[in-house]
Amino acid sequence: MNRIDARRPLRVWLTFGLSRIPGRYGVGVIPWLVSLLFSAGSVSVPTAGPYEAQWIRAAIIISLCASLAQGIAVLLVRPRARRLPPTIAGGLSTLAVFALLGAVGGTVGVIGYHFVDLPDRPGFFMPVPVFVMAVTTWVCVGSIVSISFSWRDHLRDSLAVAAARVAAKHAVLDHSLELDARQRTVAIRTLTERVIPQLRLQLIALRTPAAARSERDGQRNLIADRIEHIARHDIRGVSHLLHPDGATPDLASALADITRLYDPLVELRVLHDSVQAPVPASVLCEAAVALAEALSDLSGEGSTVPATAVARQSATSISLVIERGPETRRVELPIMPVPPPDPTSNASPKWYRVAPAPYGMPWVAISIINAFSVLFATANAGTGKWAAAGADIAVITIGTYGLDLLLRLAPVRRWRVRSQWLLIGGYVGALGALAGAVWGTAIGGETISLAVMGLICAFSMGMFLPARRVWSGETRRLRQELRLTELSLESETVTAHAHARDQCEAAANALHSIVQSRLLGIAGSVDAHAPDDLRSAAITTLADLIEQELPDIVASLQATATPQVQPLLTEQMLKTVWPATQLHVSATAPVPQPAVPLINTLIVEAIGNAIAHGRADEISVTATVWPGAVELTIDDNGTGVPPHAQRGLGLSVMQAATSDCSLTARSAGGTRLHLRVPYLA
């Protein structure tokens, strides 16, 4: 990044950088290849004496031997180095490994140059500069490559974790909706196959006259008892099954509500393997649904064979064993959700497949690294050509800053990704060659050799530093998108589950408050002691329940719960209220559903105030969506803010409903209202 956050202490930045150095690519082929390119660049610096060709030939042979020794050392230390933890200690250990690899190459170089007996030995090929340059090159190159690829790995891991999290939330949503559908299915089956047929039999019995009075009175009392039993057990059981989560406090109560539907045909036993722990309401609901499904399926509906249901609760799961005759069904329900497996991705995204243009060029970092390298090389060679070093630094700094400006141009940002990276590669290579040529010319007689070294070094580093910045910027951008995706998914989960729960709750309330109360009233009105007119009214009410009320409840449960999503207000919608005003509404991303009702309210309030108090005829509304908040900017061309204007009721309400509310005058005339609306998933 070109801008450093001064609020963070240097210690935080050092800790962050050191913890990113350990990794798969720090000790590997890529830094070895880059260091080999650096060596090729450095050996191209000859002396102006008569033995120039011999020195270059010797330097190439010795550099290849040193690189071969370093490659063997990389293969030896790589397995252990890859296991270093991403901590400060791991980063320091990795730097020590880099220094060791550089020392291997430096030692080979010192030994090799010791046996080269040619006069006019260049300063670069003295023992101390050779050793120090080898160690420094490996430490710098290894660190830059490690940090660059750690951003790539971090982005890949972030995407994998976010994908696993979104998939888990999708699974929770699907499971919740599936459980709601199973609840409704069981309730529908119970009402249509048990409750309504039994009530119809009682209605037929009430309408069938008996021969003897005593027989008629006994039959009426039996019918009344049966209707009361249906009301207190069957209707109550279905109502509790449909009730929102939390209607039953524990496992025994949740299952008892279901077994009452089959009482006395079902014997229920609830066992606990350990200390009884609270069970989530969703698990209790699922256990009740599973028991109801099993009892309905085993041996067919209406079977008179007794059944046994044994529920065993442990610390981690609930097991149900339902036996009816020769048939048995077992159900296992985990109490605690199983954590998703660690995300693993075999895909290795390439950094050059992400466009670098939106993130520019880290020209400050490149300039600092180049200045360090040039000054270090000048001091190491002992030439004292500081003016030449300054010229090289100036060329690199100005050139990289120009590349940063070039990459931010709109036409370049529209190029294909590959074309953008080709532009960077060609530009930094040419810039390095130019800087090396300037340096060599200032030294005198080293223009071509230093131009070659500058081209190789600039191309090597100029492709890794932009990659690090690209991956860091891409990580931030994708994190925001993934967070908004999660919030949107959570909103859909809440909305869908809420509508399904509303549907079940409405049916449960209707069964409890209407059907059950009426059945109890009917039971008290059809016994032997009830008057004939009251009994006649009860029979009519029972017929209405069988033919109208209960079928309507069943139909409501069979209907698909479709959430009504409230859309964000558009220009066309607002034009119906203010047709004479020019309105412009835009959003950077879809506004999460939980915030839409409040956002729409604020938009209507702000536009109304701008027209009524500011006499504006052109209003622009922009919604900027951030993770966790939506920023509204409403600009108008009205009369502006009076100098001593008092805060009205509308502005006070908007201030209370937002975390940030400001009303300022625009330089072009009119006012700007800025609102920040936080929302929770």
Domain ranges across the chain? 571-678
Query: Which tokens hold the place of 387?
Result: 């003016």
Among 9-18, 125-134, 547-556, 658-667, the range scoring the smallest mean pLDDT is 9-18
Check: CB of residue 627 under 8 Å from CB of residue 487: yes
pLDDT tens digits along 341-383: 444 444 444 555 667 777 777 777 777 877 777 777 677 656 5
Please tell me the chain's helix, strand, coil percentages from 3-state DSSP, rounded to the nearest 5: 65, 10, 25
Tell me which residue of 199, 228, 285 sits closest to 545, measured CA to CA: 199
The two tokens of residue 413 are 């940002």
CA 84 to chain centre: 28
Confidence of residue 526 (pLDDT cuts 50, 70, 90): confident
Residue 46 has pLDDT above 70, yes or no: no
Give the CATH class of 571-678. Answer: alpha beta
Does residue 678 sit in helix, strand or coil? Answer: strand
* pTM for this model (two decimals): 0.51
Query: Confidence class of residue 10 from pLDDT cuts 50, 70 and 90?
Result: low
User: Which tokens is 673 given?
Assistant: 């209202």
Q: Reply yes or no on whether the pLDDT at 120 is more than 70.
A: no
| pLDDT at residue 248 greater than cutoff 70 | no
Residues 89 and 84: their CA atoms lie apart, in Å, by 9
Instruction: Please give the pLDDT value at position 403.
Output: 85
CA 256 to chain CA centroid, Å, is 41
The residue written with tokens 């109550």 in the block is 236
**Quick one: pLDDT at residue 74?**
85
Two tokens, residue 614: 């500011």
Q: What is the pLDDT of residues 266-297, one digit of tens each?
A: 888 888 776 566 777 778 778 888 888 887 77
**What would the mean pLDDT of 459-467 be, rounded to a whole number?**
69
